[in-house]
Amino acid sequence: MSAAKTPPPPTREPRRGDFGPVLRSEWTKFRTVRGWVIGVVVVALLSVAFTFLAANGTHTGGCTFNGTPPPPGPGGGTSGGNCSLGHPYVPTGPDGEAVADSYYFVDQPLTGNGTITAQVTSLTGVTSTQSVNVATNSTTATRPGLAAWAKAGILVTPTTTQGSAYAAAMATGSHGVRLQYDYTHDTAGLPGSVSAGSPRWLRLTRTADTLTAYDSTNGTTWANIGTAHLAGLPPTVAVGLFVTSPVSFQGNSSGAPTLATATFDHVSIDSHNAPSAWRGQIIGTGSDDFYPTLGDGSYHRSDSSFVVSGSGDIAPGVIQGLLTPAAGFAVLQAVPYAAQVSYPYTLANGYYPLAPWAGFLVLCAYAVVALAVATFLVRRRDA
């Protein structure tokens, strides 16, 4: 301690200490309390573990497919695309969004223009008594129950590859007749459900790459539902009957897979082609496919009458905004939102309603707001 104290050189303009020393000081403060360091490390580990579990539990994780051939068919392993074991295959739609594309298809090729017509006389369904995370893709005990978005109808697609473009006219469990195409487009037709006493006639007419859908209650008076333009539709496409039935959350909050069965009569294809044989196809119900199904489905044909059963969904992906701090979970991007899918769109079910960067920005915005409030409160009060 020196004698004759004189103050240090005069001060500069009003200001706080330099940022560097203050930052160093805060770091010293933080690192010298062991409990704080341990706490932060534990929180970091928990965050990583939580993210990891959430990501694994919601069928996501780098297994998407774009352009190149898909993995081999159901049960055929995961050698295709960038998929690896433990990462179920999630198909990507025409616009690059994740989609569900699992159904049973009874089809034949169609070259050039043509029209397919079918009468749906019944649509029934069963629901698994076990939820999806208990028994996936296995025929277990069921109870009667038709999913609201069970779909049975006629479908046109360039390929049966999952995620490919399509247009379909369909009867649904409780949403009436619809025209849907390319996962994101949905137009309502006749309302009401299907029964033998109240059948639905469906028709799709192809003209080049334009598909026009009609519906009718009697097969003679037709109403136009809408038109789908599938750009770049090749000359030869697959046309036929399809049935699919999505996971139902009615009475089972974790969701139970369902199976729908439809009866088609008066199935006809009007074209310049020579008639081809019908073939039944299982689309996207393999063990590597992410969408939970109840069995593979099947078909039985007698002349122009078909009984087709199928499980899965042809589900569009639409992204909606949500502005809570949980938006940060959007970086996981496990499940997209779609009005045409009955699904509890909650975080617990792996649904993050924003694009990854948008979700991250929302989280950052919350951090900025919290910082601003803290700054205001600290400035306002006596130290």
Partner 1 sequence: MSDATIEVIGLRKRFGPTLALDGMTFTVVPGRVTGFVGPNGAGKSTTIRVILGLDAPDEGTALVCGQPYQHLCHPLNHVGALVDAAALQPSRTARNHLLWMAHSQDMATSRVDAVIEFVGLGSAARRKAGGYSLGMRQRLGIAAAMLGDPPVLIMDEPFNGMDPEGIIWMRRLLRSFAAEGRAILVSSHLMSELQDMADHVVVVGRGRVLADASVDELVALASGNQVLVRTPTPAEAASALQRAGTVATVIDANTLSVSGLEAQRVVEILGQEHVPFSEVTAQRATLEDVYLQLTTGEAEFQVNPDGEARP
Binding site for partner 1 (CB under 8 A): 1-8, 10-15, 17-18, 20-22, 24-26, 28-29, 32-35, 382-383
In angstroms, give the least distance from the CB of 44 to partner 1. Answer: 20
Its sign, for the CA torsion 85, 87, 89, 93, is negative
CB of 145 closer than 8 Å to CB of 323: no
Q: Which residues contact 33 (CB under 8 A, 6 or more apart)?
A: none
Comparison of 7 and 275: residue with beta carbon closer to partner 1: 7
In angstroms, give the least distance from the CB of 370 to partner 1. Answer: 23
Strands 258-271 and 167-172: unpaired
Residues 327, 351: Cα–Cα separation, whole Å: 10
Residues 36, 7: Cα–Cα separation, whole Å: 37
Comparison of 21 and 144: residue with beta carbon closer to partner 1: 21
CB of 231 closer than 8 Å to CB of 245: no
β partners of residue 100: 315
Comparison of 15 and 272: residue with beta carbon closer to partner 1: 15
In angstroms, give the least distance from the CB of 143 to partner 1. Answer: 59
In angstroms, give the least distance from the CB of 31 to partner 1. Answer: 9
Comparison of 5 and 272: residue with beta carbon closer to partner 1: 5
Q: Which residues contact 190 (CB under 8 A, 6 or more apart)?
A: 176, 177, 200, 215, 217, 223
In angstroms, give the least distance from the CB of 342 to partner 1. Answer: 53
In angstroms, give the least distance from the CB of 4 to partner 1. Answer: 5
Comparison of 13 and 303: residue with beta carbon closer to partner 1: 13
Its sign, for the CA torsion 133, 347, 97, 214, is positive
Give the DSSP H/E element, type plus range, for residue 365. Answer: helix 356-380
Comparison of 32 and 220: residue with beta carbon closer to partner 1: 32
155, amino acid identity: L
CB of 163 closer than 8 Å to CB of 311: no
Comparison of 21 and 67: residue with beta carbon closer to partner 1: 21
In angstroms, give the least distance from the CB of 45 to partner 1. Answer: 21
In angstroms, give the least distance from the CB of 78 to partner 1. Answer: 51
Angle at 172 between CA 282 and CA 204, to 5 degrees: 75
Comparison of 274 and 383: residue with beta carbon closer to partner 1: 383
Q: Which residues contact 354 (CB under 8 A, 6 or more apart)?
A: 319, 321, 322, 327, 330, 362
